[in-house]
């Protein structure tokens, strides 16, 4: 069973920083409207399946007063043990992290494993339902109600059923066998009309064959002329390139002649940069070497003072005792404080005991407080307390009897006020005579009732007459009509005559009889009041006599208790005088007297022990203080002496460290001096090597040879650029090009191009005339447009047919899938539904089954079958809930999720509500159930620990329920 153990809300809707612990069975979430019940329900679903995206219709519940959004669910999983699911604001559905019991963490993939691959839609179709899903169930048709029940009994069938209807509707909108409105039917009819029009236009096309052949010959001739023109253009481009290459060739010859004037010049690679870099380094090293020599001389001139090693070692030894010194200071202070507190506490105890003199205090400390003495004291004290308690008890009892006697007197006054009035006494005196008159009237009425029995016969005749009259009218029999009318009229006249004769007598006697019966009821009420008054008066007199006797007895007992209390007080005072205790001791302190004397004696022993420890600590502290004064050579405060010692010790250490640092610096400077001199020698040799490579002796000659080398490099670069440009022109392999021959060739080529263009223009004019003739014959492009339109319409028709076939295939597949679901899975679920449905309806209905036509029917205990639409609103909801619960039972092993319900049975009466509670308790042993309600009547069925008051939780965190 997968259970939710704890809900931790960081921020979700109106809730913030809320923690709710849940039980394994049934948990009731109670709260008034807008207390946040639905918010918690949606929090559970969104923690499991993610926050809604913008494309979804569910509410996201982002908090408006806080930046925190999300929370945690702590689960107990049947496979992975205790798990924690945390989801916070992040990407579209939130950032989720899953923590397992063994330390494993994961995201959405691990969460999908925990939820057995269920999505939110599949989860809500089985394990979560609310009142909103059942509000429209009363107005549903038989087919809609059956689909709803099927959806609750088989996973995913509602989505399939909706998709099947959608596919059928869309397919019928595309094509029907005998329809005219669908799109495919209209498209077929339009294609037939286009085909007839195209056949009419085809007859006009045969006359254009000759023109088309001439156009083909012209096209071939034009292609040949265009090829020749293309070759001429290529020749023109080659001649133009040769003409452009002439200046470059002249520049190349001039650069080659200039380069020949320069002799071969050698210069080191990057010679100037390397020389200047070495020159700067050499100058820097010379300056740094001079500074190091000056610093070395300064350090050698310093004279370091010697340090007294013995004094430093003594300081180090005493510093190690600093913790001991502070402990002794704290110990002395604590012992002094303890000694002061002990003396103060002893003085307080002596004041409580009433012993002020020192001599009496010393005597009391030496007195023996044995257990025998304490036992005798406790006996005297107990005896006094018993006497006082008995006296208080008798006094309280006497006061209570006073109050009871006063209450009895007031009760007697109220009873006297409730006695019979003079009018009621008169009614009782007159009643015997009226009673005899009432009995006479009742006897007369009984006699008249016996005389009216023959009227039943008259009524029977009247009924026969009316039936005969009606039968005659129906059969159109005049004789029967007359007989029936005669009997009816005769009966009516007889009854009216007898009623008129008896009516005056009956009215007068009936009126008198009613008055006497009312008077009889009044007399009975007065007699009952009189009897009740007499009984109460007798009872009150007996109570008063009993309380007066109790009062006399209590007065005697109070006198005896006072005597016993006085004797016990005198005996206790004589016992206390032996301990020299003066004054009156409070009664509350008497039970603790011996304990306080023992406490004073224990405090005295602790004081003596503390004084001894204080003397030892002070001796040890004084010894260390004398050693510190010798080292520091002066007197200091004992609380600050170690601060001065640390300062002196640090200064001595610092002085020694400075000496050592100076020696280290001298050694380091010596090494640096040697390294600097070696680097100067190295830089000098490298500069000489550069001059040798350039074949010069000094710096000036070095820079002059560098300028000649750069001029040579510049000429070589320009020559390479010209050669690259000539190579890019792709000139033919000719050593010399003549400018005059190139210009003559260009002129001849221009003449050939002009004659070729004239021949092309003639062919184009001829082709244009043929095209105009063809257009004049055709008049327009109607035939081509018709062919194009016909092909386009055929393509659209093919696409529509493919859409229709696809939708039909999907609808057929869904229908077969629904049939298999109903035939295979639903019977397995229905086998568990009947017991639940019978329980919820109180045994009124015994089973639910599917009719041959595919509709649900309910069968009662008498065997009568009812369609679902014939049932009441509550019974339909009970069938829906029964199917949901049965499906959950069948999925116990594959999906042990909790069941979430939001007030789904508010229409149930009290009896069926009790049955639903019984079912929830039974299912609660197998699955966790979370029930959300705003009806406080549901709280009577559950224990207090199963109820979560959302309003109280919100108020604890400052979130008022609205």
φ, ψ at 116 (rounded to 5°): 55, 30
Cα–Cα distance list, 177 to 173, 182, 535, 808, 833 (Å) = 12, 10, 100, 14, 44
Backbone angles phi, psi at 692, to 5 degrees: -65, -40
CA 461/CA 711 separation, integer angstroms = 157
Q: Is the Cβ–Cβ distance between 838 and 845 less than 8 Å?
A: yes
In three-state secondary structure terms, 530 is helix
Pick from 631, 661, 672, 668: nearest CA to 648 = 631
Candidates 364, 362, 351; CA nearest to 583 is: 351
**Beta pairing partners, 73:** 7, 85
Indicate the angle between helix axes 322-353 and 641-694, nearest 10 degrees: 150
Please report how many Cα atoms fall inside a 13 Å half-sphere around the Cα of residue 52, on the Cβ side: 13
Helix (H), strand (E), coil (C) string for 289-350 = HHHHHHHHHHHHHCCCCCCCHHHHHHHHHHHHCHHHHHHHHHHHHHHHHHHHHHHHHHHHHH
Measured between alpha carbons, how far is 695 from 689 in angstroms, rounded to an integer?
A: 10
Q: Give 142's Cβ-side CA count (13 Å radius).
A: 13
Q: Is 587 helix (H, G, I), strand (E, B) or coil?
A: coil
b (16+ CB within 10 A) / e for 376-409: ebeebbebbeebbebbeebeebbeebeebeeebe
Instruction: Name the pairing type of β-strands 947-949 and 26-30.
Output: parallel
- Determine how many CB atoms are found less than 10 A away from the CB of residue 241: 15
Whether 667 and 299 have beta carbons less than 8 Å apart is answered as no
Q: Where are the beta strands (DSSP E) in 399-440?
A: none
Q: Which of 888, 890, 898, 951 is nearest to 929 (CA)?
A: 898
Strands 865-867 and 856-860: antiparallel
- Rounded to 10°, the helix 371-417/478-577 angle is 140
Residues 931/29, Cβ–Cβ less than 8 Å: yes
Cα–Cα nearest to 571, from 352, 370, 371, 376 = 376
> Could you report the average pLDDT of every consecutive run of 10 residues in the chain (962 residues)?
92 90 91 88 91 84 85 92 92 90 90 87 79 54 51 48 69 72 77 75 61 77 81 78 74 75 72 78 82 76 58 78 82 84 79 70 65 67 77 83 84 78 77 76 68 62 78 77 78 69 59 77 80 82 82 81 77 65 55 68 80 85 80 75 79 73 76 82 81 79 77 79 75 61 77 81 78 64 70 78 73 60 59 80 82 74 82 81 80 85 82 86 89 88 89 64 32
In whole angstroms, what is the distance from residue 373 CA to residue 136 CA? 89
Residues 476, 482: Cα–Cα separation, whole Å = 11
Q: What is the DSSP string of 42-66?
A: HHHHHHHH----TTS-S-----SS-
Q: From CA 947, how far away is CA 931, in angstroms rounded? A: 10
- Tokens representing 526 are 């007065």
The secondary structure of residue 731, as a DSSP letter, is: -
DSSP 698: S
Distance CA 154, CA 556 (A): 89
C-beta of residue 445 within 8 angstroms of C-beta of residue 509: yes
Here the tokens at position 443 are 């006897």
Q: Are 831 and 818 in contact (CB under 8 A)?
A: no
- Cα 210 to chain centroid, rounded: 85
For residue 193, the Cα-to-chain-centroid distance in whole angstroms is 65
Closest CA to 856 of 839, 885, 878: 878
CA nearest to 834, candidates 851, 846, 822: 846
* Predicted TM-score (pTM) of this structure: 0.38
For residue 355, with 0-12 CB atoms within 10 Å meaning exposed, 13-18 middle and 19 or more buried, which class applies? buried
């Amino acid at each position: 069973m997968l259970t939710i153990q704890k809900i931790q809300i960081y921020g979700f809707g109106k809730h913030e920083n809320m923690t709710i612990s849940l039980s394994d069975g049934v948990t009731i979430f109670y709260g008034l409207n807008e207390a946040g019940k639905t918010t918690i329900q949606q929090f559970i679903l969104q923690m499991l399946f993610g926050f809604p995206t913008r494309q979804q219709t569910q509410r996201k519940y982002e908090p408006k007063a806080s930046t925190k959004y999300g929370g945690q669910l702590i689960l107990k999983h049947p496979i992975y043990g205790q798990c924690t699911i945390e989801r916070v604001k992040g990407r579209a559905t939130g950032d989720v992290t899953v923590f397992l019991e063994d330390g494993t963490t994961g995201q959405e993939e691990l969460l999908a494993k925990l939820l057995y691959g269920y999505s939110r839609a599949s989860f809500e179709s089985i394990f979560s339902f609310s009142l909103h899903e059942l509000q429209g169930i009363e107005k549903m048709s038989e087919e809609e109600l059956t689909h709803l029940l099927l959806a609750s009994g088989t996973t995913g069938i509602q989505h399939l059923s909706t998709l099947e209807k959608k596919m059928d509707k869309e397919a019928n909108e595309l094509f029907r066998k005998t329809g005219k409105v669908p799109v495919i039917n209209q498209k077929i009819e339009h294609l037939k009309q286009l085909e007839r029009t195209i056949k009419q236009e085809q007859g006009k096309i045969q006359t254009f064959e000759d023109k088309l052949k001439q156009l083909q010959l012209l096209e071939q001739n034009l292609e040949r002329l265009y090829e020749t023109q293309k070759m001429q253009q290529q020749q023109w481009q080659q001649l133009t390139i040769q003409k452009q290459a002439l200046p470059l060739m002249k520049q190349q010859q001039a650069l080659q002649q200039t380069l020949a004037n320069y002799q071969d010049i050698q210069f080191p690679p990057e010679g100037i940069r390397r020389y200047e870099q070495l020159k700067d380094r050499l100058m820097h090293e010379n300056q740094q070497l001079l500074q190091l020599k000056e610093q070395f001389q300064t350090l050698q001139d310093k004279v370091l003072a010697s340090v007294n090693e013995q004094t430093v070692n003594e300081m180090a030894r005493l510093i190690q005792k600093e913790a001991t010194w502070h402990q002794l200071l704290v110990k002395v202070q604590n012992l002094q404080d303890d000694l002061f507190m002990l003396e103060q506490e002893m003085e307080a105890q002596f004041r409580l005991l009433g012993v002020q003199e020192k001599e009496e205090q010393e005597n009391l400390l030496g007195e023996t407080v044995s257990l025998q003495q304490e036992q005798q004291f406790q006996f005297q004290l107990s005896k006094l307390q018993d006497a006082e308690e008995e006296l208080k008890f008798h006094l309280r009892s006497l006061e209570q009897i006073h109050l009871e006697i006063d209450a009895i007197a007031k009760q007697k006054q109220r009873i006297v006020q409730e006695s019979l009035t003079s009018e009621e006494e008169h009614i009782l005196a007159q009643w015997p005579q009226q009673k005899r008159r009432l009995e006479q009237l009742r006897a007369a009425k009984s006699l008249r009732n016996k005389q009216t029995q023959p009227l039943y016969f008259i009524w029977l005749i009247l009924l026969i007459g009316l039936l005969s009259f009606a039968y005659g009218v129906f059969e159109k029999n005049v004789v029967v009509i007359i007989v029936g009318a005669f009997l009816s009229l005769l009966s009516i006249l007889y009854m009216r005559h007898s009623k008129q004769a008896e009516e005056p007598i009956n009215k007068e006697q009936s009126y008198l009889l009613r008055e006497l019966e009312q008077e009889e009821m009044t007399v009975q009420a007065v007699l009952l009041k009189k009897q009740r008054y007499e009984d109460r008066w007798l009872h009150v007199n007996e109570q008063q006599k009993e309380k007066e006797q109790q009062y006399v007895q209590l007065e005697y007992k109070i006198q005896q208790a006072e005597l016993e209390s006085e004797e016990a007080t005198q005996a206790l005072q004589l016992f206390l005088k032996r301990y020299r205790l003066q004054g009156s001791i409070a009664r509350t302190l008497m039970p603790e007297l011996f304990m306080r004397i023992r406490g004073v004696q224990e405090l005295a022993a602790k004081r003596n022990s503390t004084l001894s420890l204080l003397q030892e600590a002070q001796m040890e502290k004084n010894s260390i203080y004398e050693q510190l004064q010798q080292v520091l050579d002066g007197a200091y405060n004992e609380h600050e002496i170690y601060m001065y010692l640390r300062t002196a010790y640090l200064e001595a250490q610092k002085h020694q460290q400075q000496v050592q640092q100076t020696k280290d610096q001298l050694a380091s400077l010596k090494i640096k001096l040697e390294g600097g001199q070696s680097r100067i020698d190295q830089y000098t040799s490298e500069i000489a090597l550069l001059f040798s490579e350039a074949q010069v002796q000094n710096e000036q000659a070095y820079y002059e040879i560098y300028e000649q080398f750069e001029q040579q490099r510049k000429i070589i670069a320009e020559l390479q650029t010209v050669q690259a440009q000539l190579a890019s022109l792709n000139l033919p392999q000719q050593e010399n090009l003549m400018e005059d021959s190139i210009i003559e060739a260009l002129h001849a080529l221009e003449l050939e191009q002009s004659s070729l263009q004239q021949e092309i223009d003639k062919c184009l004019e001829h082709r244009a005339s043929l095209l105009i003739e063809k257009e004049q014959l055709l008049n327009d492009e109607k035939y081509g447009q018709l062919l194009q339109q016909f092909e386009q319409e055929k393509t659209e028709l093919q696409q529509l047919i493919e859409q229709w076939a696809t939708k039909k295939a999907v609808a057929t597949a869904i229908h077969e899938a629904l049939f298999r679901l109903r035939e295979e899975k639903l019977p397995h679920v229905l086998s568990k539904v009947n017991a639940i449905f019978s329980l919820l309806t109180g045994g009124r209905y015994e089973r639910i089954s599917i009719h041959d036509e595919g509709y649900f029917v309910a069968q009662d205990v008498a065997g009568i079958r009812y369609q679902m639409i014939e049932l009441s609103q509550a019974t339909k909801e009970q069938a829906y809930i029964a199917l949901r619960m049965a499906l959950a039972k069948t999925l116990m092993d594959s999906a042990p999720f909790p069941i979430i319900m939001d007030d789904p049975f508010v229409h149930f009466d009290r009896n069926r509500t009790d049955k639903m509670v019984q079912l929830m308790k039974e299912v609660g042993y197998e699955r966790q159930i979370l029930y959300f309600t705003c009806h406080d009547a549901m709280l009577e069925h559950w224990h207090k620990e199963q109820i979560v008051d959302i309003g109280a939780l919100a108020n604890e965190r400052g979130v008022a329920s609205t």
